[in-house]
Structure 1
């Protein structure tokens, strides 16, 4: 789609700002959530609020490993293995609620401090994500922004995609659209009611879909149709969850 503030383009400064904003949104929502609610299931299959919070905490620590890699040149993967990642989340979810909350906040603060230490050369250093993608360190704050923004919605504490910044939503849609383009699925053409069009190649003739930025972001991330409609007001094709 064309450039501009709603195009989904993003800079390092954008990603750092969204990381900070997302942390505020997430931890403000968490502060209003009683400990007992953390024991209840979330919309994420098999995960309680405790698992979600442990994941957000572990993600900050994992991304700090990539910052260390960029800062020192010493290879340090996000996780030692997928199995270790799952085990860490399960163990974290079993912590007392106060300890779990403190861990998540401390890990987020530590990641922010480490990111602030990177210089221009280190921002361009190559690191490897848990999915095996080689990216520059400039991708790290975007990866974190996605986690805290989207999981603030998943927390079930009243935050919706409508509460997230419009420029972040546009960047999120562009990011998910690019990833869905590389996976099997229906061809889609998405048009935001406030402006912006994204095309996802796939099987069959492109299905035209319209919705708000928030609705399209919710739909593409596999979190409900969010008022997104197809031709003649019909429902959009179902998509698997993302992130």
Structure 2
């Protein structure tokens, strides 16, 4: 069961952590490459701001983005801005999201996201939490996958394994974290490939942030995952 109130509080806390960390940067650091190929830290911050506004659109029944081209153009436009403007934009857009998500609503309704994806409105705060937490890591400023809250890491692994479940291009796979948690994904048929490692390493592999070097597969090839 999704607890959108709890998740909304977690989004606020994660946003505060990100703003406090990025507030220690300078304009030159914002212009430097992030951990995402082709994106500077400014791109990441611009994306976070525009994603908050896009999720407000989702919650209010509007298209998430006018188009894929408009989404990309907005990020490119906003990426070169000075740090102070970036931080104000992330802070202000986050406040708009908090306000929209705190409004009385039917949280069991289905909402439309990008590329034909739909979801329960109750999961939108968690989707925003994913954006804030993972992109904080992507900034490359010392916040690592190991620093993510344990509860978030487990939920995001479950979210991603569910996303790949039944995908014919992903072999049956059993993921086991070193703390004993397990998840299944990929095709339903066939003997599963066993993938074992720490929860942060499993998340990094599923989310395309790590290449799986820290994972054990008992000699089997590590499954190739489709892009997110």
The TM-score with structure 1 as length reference comes to 0.84
Name the structure 2 match of 1:28: 20
Return 5+ residue gaps in structure 1 as ranges: 1-8, 70-75
Cα distance, 1:204 vs structure 2: 6.2
Name the structure 2 match of 1:227: 214
Cα distance, 1:240 vs structure 2: 5.1
Contact 1:189 1:207 in 2 (8 A): yes
Q: What's the RMSD between the two structures over aligned residues?
A: 2.1
Cα distance, 1:127 vs structure 2: 1.7
Instruction: Identify if the C-alpha distance between structure 1 residues 24 and 228 changes in structure 2 by more than 3 Å, giving closer, same or farther.
Output: farther
Q: Distance in 1 between matches of 2:222 and 2:13?
A: 30
Q: Distance in 1 between matches of 2:85 and 2:9?
A: 27
Q: Distance in 2 between matches of 1:201 and 1:51?
A: 32
Cα distance, 1:50 vs structure 2: 0.8
Q: Distance in 1 between matches of 2:115 and 2:164?
A: 15
Q: Helix, strand or coil for the counterpart of 1:190?
A: strand
Worse overlay, 93-102 or 209-218: 93-102
Return 5+ residue gaps in structure 2 as ranges: none
The TM-score with structure 2 as length reference comes to 0.89
Cα distance, 1:194 vs structure 2: 1.0
Name the structure 2 match of 1:175: 159
Cα distance, 1:182 vs structure 2: 4.4
Q: Distance in 2 between matches of 1:51 and 1:182?
A: 33
Deviations along 1:124-153, whole A, 9 cap, x unmatched? 333200132222321210110110011010
Instruction: Identify if the C-alpha distance between structure 1 residues 214 and 131 changes in structure 2 by more than 3 Å, giving closer, same or farther.
Output: same
Q: After TM superposition, which residue ranges in structure 1, 4 or more long, deviate above 6 angstroms? A: none
Contact 2:46 2:78 in 1 (8 A): yes
Cα distance, 1:66 vs structure 2: 1.6
- 1:102 paired with 2:88, answer yes
